[in-house]
Chain A
């Protein structure tokens, strides 16, 4: 062997796995954060419903609080259930 690799410093960027580019509630891109937050990432996470729709956590929580009776997904009107995959 003439050449062997000793150390490797790699770089990778992460993105949310979302089925859309924008949040259906606030219309902001998922690469960014919800309107109430300043920075994307761990502080403004995404959550998925069992209907497979996904939103900023802050957005869907606000939405659900404004819907005391029927907790529905704002996109497909199915009953909202968090998908804890």
Chain B
């Protein structure tokens, strides 16, 4: 501690007017000037015994102060006396005599502190009283000897009166080993009591600690021992409470402890102790237990979304070295573990996407609210999501696609446009994590096709918005086919309008059916199984007319009908009245059969319509066993058997005029799923081939490793090196490229 700070610390016990040393110095020149003038004029003569008389007066005053007795002479008089003596070269003697007076007095004071059995608290109190008295006395003495302090003492670089007092106080009292030990141990005891929750006399602590500082023994005599005691206490407390308390309680306790220790600094410790003190507490209560705190408590806090506790955890761990790094890696591990349970279990597929969204929301919220949006945490969150979501291949991509479908499909009225938009944005965040984006595309495309072809899309705006999001995320190549599908729908609209005009102009006794056709460009749409069903003559005729019309506009093409995707509005006459039924083409084909017969067998229907067996059973089920039973099945039962017969249900009733009878969807069977996945796989093969040919065409010759690394740059889906090798072999077999004759690790392009 430097001399100046030490001196400044002295002032704690001085009244305000004596305090300002700067002020004292600033008035010095004036005093000096006055002196010089006086000296020039005349040298006053003194009575012979003036010096001794005057000293006696001063000595009595000092003794009176030391014994707390009233002074006979006024302060003014005494001050003047000191000044006079100084003018008569008495200053050194004066200083010496004052020193010895003080020395005697302080030396005498030690006695009371050496008694064997004194209560520690009383001891401290006594010490404080003695110290306070000492300070008071020295201030008064100094104000009498102020002239001496400002002239002789200042010029001769000896201890000021105040410092002299301190030196003597230190020398006789606190440098006594026994006394010092008692003082320090007493202080430590008081602090420990306070840490245990007792009320203690803080002003006593403060005063005595200031005393140690003033005597320049705070560091050596007290601080070290205090920090050691702190370390011992909190080391034990940390061990114990980590066992006894739940993590949130433990954190709250640590928080309280740090607050308390800070207050301790504020109230009575030297500010210089703060850093080490708080550091010690943090080390013993936090640093030592970070791993255990995280292992024992983080999962619980996160799974119960205890935001306040998480904020506290973050704030506390940010205080210790590597605390946040460890918190972050545990956070990451939690997300991976929890996330995996969401995606890995096929039982939970139905709720997977919603759970993922909720989970992402919750973790985002934690990062924003509790982790100060710290970049390390938000990046780690992303990494963890990407990691776990891809632990199950294909399924998350498929389910995200289906989830989007459910939200974009007509009849989804749970959300406003803005809500839907926000939801789509959130889904895009999940989508971003998916590695096999082509799997998503395949399923998304399949569902989009359904929405477009059956007119089931809820909103064109939402569809377009989703499309532009995908485009932004994956580039135009990803969405070009999807955009192509929208384009086909627009073109179809135009063709249908033209066809309508064509029909009205050439109304050769046409069937009275309003026909519209969606014309699909093969490459854009999902592949559909062609199915050859038998249509009634008038439908065949209408189809042919349309085909002829279309091909007349588009030469070089051929049309393939896709009966599985067609649907109709049919008018049906029941006893209760006329109804309009919205039904699939297959349902239509079955229904029209009842125009000619009343009661028909399954076999007959199958024969006449040529609908595939499973498809037909589902169709009949939807008409005879569903909610709107326009057919009656004999015998009754949920499943359609070979021997079943059907009858038109003339007694059918329904509140509505227009009734939609849903075709019972083939449950997204594993077959269909596999088929889509298979198509994705095929498409990947094709893309790999195309990429290899593109690269080889440009480079002409390339080593195996370079080719592979270029491929990894271009391919947007996960692929194993062995698969790439297979494709290369296949292209060599098909003469697109060849192995170099001299270097088997090198390929040449074959033009």
Q: List A residues at the B interface (Cβ < 8 Å).
A: 1-17, 27, 31-33, 35, 38-41, 45-46, 48, 54, 85
Question: Across the interface, do B519 and A13 meet the contact criterion of CB distance under 8 Å?
Answer: yes
Question: Across the interface, do B568 and A7 meet the contact criterion of CB distance under 8 Å?
Answer: yes
Complex CA gap A9/B569 in Å reads 9
Question: Across the interface, do A12 and B560 meet the contact criterion of CB distance under 8 Å?
Answer: yes
A38-B476, A39-B524, A41-B521 known; A6 vs B559 contact (CB < 8 Å): no
Could you say which of B427-435, B464-472, B588-596 contacts chain A? B588-596
Q: Which of B604-622 contact A (CB under 8 A)?
A: none
Question: Across the interface, do B580 and A6 meet the contact criterion of CB distance under 8 Å?
Answer: yes
Complex CA gap A33/B566 in Å reads 28
Question: Across the interface, do B595 and A3 meet the contact criterion of CB distance under 8 Å?
Answer: yes
A11-B562, A14-B558 known; A40 vs B518 contact (CB < 8 Å): no
Kindly state whether residue B193 has any CB partner on chain A within 8 Å. no
Q: Which residues on the A side are within 8 Å of B11 (C-beta)?
A: none
Kindly state whether residue B516 has any CB partner on chain A within 8 Å. yes
Question: Across the interface, do A40 and B522 meet the contact criterion of CB distance under 8 Å?
Answer: yes
Number of interface residues of B (CB under 8 A): 57
Partner of B595, one of A2, A14, A85: A2
State the main secondary structure of chain B at its contact with A.
Answer: mixed
Question: Across the interface, do B595 and A12 meet the contact criterion of CB distance under 8 Å?
Answer: no
Q: Which residues on the A side are within 8 Å of B565 (C-beta)?
A: 11
Question: Across the interface, do B560 and A5 meet the contact criterion of CB distance under 8 Å?
Answer: no
Partner of B523, one of A27, A41, A46: A41
Question: Across the interface, do A10 and B561 meet the contact criterion of CB distance under 8 Å?
Answer: yes
Q: Which residues on the A side are within 8 Å of B420 (C-beta)?
A: none
- Output the nearest chain B residue to A85 by Cβ-Cβ distance: B555
Question: Across the interface, do B569 and A6 meet the contact criterion of CB distance under 8 Å?
Answer: yes
Question: Across the interface, do A5 and B513 meet the contact criterion of CB distance under 8 Å?
Answer: yes
Q: List B residues at the A interface (Cβ < 8 Å).
A: 453, 455, 476-477, 480-481, 484, 512-525, 528, 539, 542-543, 546-547, 550, 554-562, 565-573, 580, 585, 588, 591-592, 594-595, 648, 650, 694, 736
Query: B652 CB to closest chain A CB, in angstroms?
Result: 11
Query: A17 CB to closest chain B CB, in angstroms?
Result: 5
Question: Across the interface, do A12 and B520 meet the contact criterion of CB distance under 8 Å?
Answer: yes
Query: B596 CB to closest chain A CB, in angstroms?
Result: 10
Q: Which residues on the B side are within 8 Å of A27 (C-beta)?
A: 736
Question: Across the interface, do A6 and B568 meet the contact criterion of CB distance under 8 Å?
Answer: yes
A9-B518, A10-B566, A14-B520 known; A3 vs B592 contact (CB < 8 Å): yes
Question: Across the interface, do A17 and B518 meet the contact criterion of CB distance under 8 Å?
Answer: no
Complex CA gap A1/B476 in Å reads 52
Question: Across the interface, do B521 and A14 meet the contact criterion of CB distance under 8 Å?
Answer: yes
Complex CA gap A38/B569 in Å reads 38
Question: Across the interface, do B557 and A16 meet the contact criterion of CB distance under 8 Å?
Answer: yes
- Output the nearest chain B residue to A46 by Cβ-Cβ distance: B556
Complex CA gap A23/B594 in Å reads 49
A-B contact pairs, 24 of them (CB 8 A): A2-B573, A3-B571, A3-B595, A4-B571, A5-B568, A5-B588, A8-B585, A11-B518, A12-B520, A12-B550, A13-B519, A13-B520, A13-B522, A14-B554, A14-B558, A14-B559, A16-B558, A27-B736, A31-B523, A33-B523, A35-B694, A39-B481, A41-B521, A85-B556
